[in-house]
């Protein structure tokens, strides 16, 4: 059984408790699900990271659009659409894969969209980032097509920001204590504090810090795309490469990430295959196909010109 994010009603560790790394790298690491309070209202680490991801990602996309002589205003408009569509997509995939949370007596289907939850709490807990990526991609492509702008050059400047944003958001996941991995015996395994979901589930055993794995891979992918952009590849190269990268490392990381049983499709060769991995495989195939088709088209046009 694996888990994507804490379910509503689960105990979250209080801010400032220590996480200890197992093995050789055993030292305390501050974990802060709540960063601070403003007027008695808690400011969550995950929400702050998500906000920062959007702000930085949008700023980078607009800057890159201006540098390439593209319509920066439309890129900003598309970024606003992506902000909304990514949250909706992330929420939708989580709800679809966790229907039991919204069935009585645990909850109601209205809880899927209503921040005033049926059990009395306020807020909406549960996002699946891959769903947000899929809907953000579809939304951005549709947006530029609708406005009759060259789609591929514009999504080329946006998609690297998606990877940058994921890297920032996953740091928030780590501070929040969600999206953790399976038991890890490697030196870099992380022991989350008593009372956290990971500690309760695995009885204090060290787990893979899959949040940090994802953050590092996302930042590395963003750096690679920045390098690739300097080589001035064909239109669409950055877009399709981004899809292959984000979906590819998601397939790999899901083998060491914890999910509930309902997110697992089947077992193969002793490994759990998740819904996210199936979606990611489809994205990898689509990205590779896009690179092949549009790369070949570009080469033919260059040869003919």
| Alpha carbon distance 79, 56 (integer Å) | 11
- Residue 170's contacts (CB-CB under 8 Å, 6 or more residues apart) are 49, 179, 211, 212, 214, 215, 218
Query: Which range has highest mean pLDDT (15-29, 34-48, 120-134, 218-232)?
Result: 218-232
Check: pTM over 0.95? Answer yes or no.
no
Sequence spans of domains, the chain:
17-304
Q: What is the signed CA dihedral for 257, 261, 266, 270, rounded to 10 degrees? A: 50
| Alpha carbon distance 126, 46 (integer Å) | 12
Between residues 155 and 45, which one has the greater pLDDT?
155
| Alpha carbon distance 159, 34 (integer Å) | 30
Check pLDDT > 90 for residue 123.
no
- Provide the 3-class DSSP secondary structure of residue 21: strand
Strand partners, 38: 41
Check pLDDT > 80 for residue 29.
no
Q: Which residue reads 């490392």 in tokens?
A: 249
Between residues 230 and 37, which one has the greater pLDDT?
230
The terminus-to-terminus CA distance of the chain in angstroms comes to 56
- DSSP assignment letter at 17: E
Q: Determine the pLDDT at residue 5.
A: 39
Q: Which of 14-28, 179-193, 225-239, 248-262 is predicted least confidently?
A: 14-28
- Provide the 3-class DSSP secondary structure of residue 106: coil
Q: Phi then psi for 243, rounded to 5 degrees?
A: -65, -45
What would the pLDDT profile of 42-82 be if each residue is shown by its tens digit?
Answer: 888 888 998 999 999 999 999 999 999 999 999 999 999 99
Query: Can you tell me the mean pLDDT for 156-167?
Result: 94
Strand partners, 122: 116
Q: Determine the pLDDT at residue 114.
A: 66
- Residue 28's contacts (CB-CB under 8 Å, 6 or more residues apart) are 18, 19, 20
Residue pair 225/61 in contact (Cβ under 8 Å)? The answer is: no
Question: Minimal CA–CA distance to 127: which of 170, 93, 150?
Answer: 93
- Residue 159's contacts (CB-CB under 8 Å, 6 or more residues apart) are 137, 225, 238, 239, 242, 243
Q: Determine the pLDDT at residue 78.
A: 93
What would the pLDDT profile of 130-140 be if each residue is shown by its tens digit?
Answer: 888 899 999 99
């Amino acid at each position: 059984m694996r888990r994507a994010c804490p379910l509503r009603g689960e105990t979250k560790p209080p801010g400032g408790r220590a996480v200890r790394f197992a093995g050789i790298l055993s030292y305390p690491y501050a974990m802060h699900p709540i960063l601070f309070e403003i007027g008695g209202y808690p400011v969550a680490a995950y929400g702050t990271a998500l906000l920062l991801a959007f702000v930085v990602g949008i700023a980078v996309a607009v800057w890159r659009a201006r540098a390439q002589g593209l319509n920066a205003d439309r890129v900003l408009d598309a970024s606003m659409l992506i902000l909304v569509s990514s949250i909706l997509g992330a929420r939708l995939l989580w709800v679809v894969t966790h229907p039991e949370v919204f069935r009585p007596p645990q909850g109601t289907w209205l809880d899927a969209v209503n921040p005033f939850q049926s059990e009395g709490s306020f807020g909406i807990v549960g996002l699946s980032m891959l769903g947000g990526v899929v809907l953000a991609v579809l939304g951005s492509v549709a947006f530029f097509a609708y406005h009759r702008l060259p789609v591929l050059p514009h999504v080329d400047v946006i998609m690297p920001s998606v990877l940058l944003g994921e890297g920032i958001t996953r740091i928030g996941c780590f501070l929040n204590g969600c999206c953790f991995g399976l038991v890890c015996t490697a030196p870099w395994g992380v022991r989350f504090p008593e009372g956290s979901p990971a500690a309760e589930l695995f009885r204090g055993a060290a787990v893979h810090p899959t949040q940090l794995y994802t953050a590092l891979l996302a930042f590395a992918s963003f750096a690679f795309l920045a390098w690739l952009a300097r080589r001035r590849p064909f239109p669409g190269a950055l877009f399709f490469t981004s899809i292959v990268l984000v979906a590819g490392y998601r397939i790999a990381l899901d083998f060491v990430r914890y999910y509930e049983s309902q997110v697992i499709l089947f077992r193969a060769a002793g490994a759990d295959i998740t819904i996210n991995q199936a979606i990611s495989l489809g994205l990898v195939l689509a990205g590779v196909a896009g690179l092949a088709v549009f790369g070949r088209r570009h080469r033919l046009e260059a040869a003919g010109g």
